[in-house]
Amino acid sequence: MWLVLLAVLVGWTCFLLGDEDTPSRNAVRAFMHGKLDASKDVLEGLVTEKFGPIEEGADRMRLMSRKAEWNSIKTERYVQLSEEFRQSTEKLSKAAREKKLDSAALAWTQITLQCVNCHQYARDIQMTRIQPPGGRTVETAVSAVTR
């Protein structure tokens, strides 16, 4: 009896504290907004032909995509979309280093499509999640079969 109670208590405490690999939803939101700042720098760089901000913005986005906050969705498809995004930011960064405006603009177009695609996917997958009070999400088995 006591063992069962203890197990429940420990389980509940872990749930309340959350584990470090899964940042809270608000932390994820705040972090994700950083992409807009980087996007603005890239776009501004493209229209004023300043390659420094383009390269810097692209590199910032690529670094972001490796953080825990970015990787809060753990499906194969999400990993793949993230990898494609990284490849595009690498292309953008390279184009900026080589001062090729056309290539940079093309890479940026690809990236914006990837922003839209991945968000569409993220919305779909989040519909299959249960959201308990407190903002933590518990993935259901559904997401495992829909990826």
- State CA 115 to chain mean position distance: 9
Shortest distance, CB of residue 60 to ligand HEC, whole angstroms?
10
Q: Report the distance separating Cα 62 and Cα 65, nearest Å.
A: 5
Q: Closer CB to ligand HEC, residue 46 or residue 61?
A: 61
* String marking each residue 25-54 x if it binds ligand HEC according to CB under 6 A: ---xx--xx-xx--x---------------
Sequence-distant (≥ 6) Cβ neighbours of residue 17 within 8 angstroms:
none
Torsion of CA 110, 114, 117, 118, to 10 degrees: 180
Cβ atoms of residues 72 and 118 within 8 Å: no
Q: Is 91 in the site for ligand HEC (CB under 6 A)?
A: no
Report how far residue 121's alpha carbon sits from residue 119's, in angstroms, rounded to the nearest whole number: 5
DSSP state of 73: S
Q: Could you tell me which residues are beta bridge partners of residue 130?
A: 138
Closest approach of Cβ 30 to ligand HEC, in Å? Answer: 8
Residue 60 binding ligand HEC, by CB under 6 A:
no
For residue 3, the minimal CB distance to ligand HEC (Å) is 37
The least CB distance from residue 96 to ligand HEC, in Å, is: 15
* Interface with ligand HEC (CB under 6 A), residue from 82, 87, 103, 128: 82
Q: Which residues in this chain contact ligand HEC in the complex, by CB under 6 A?
A: 28-29, 32-33, 35-36, 39, 61, 73, 81-82, 85, 111, 114-115, 118-119, 122
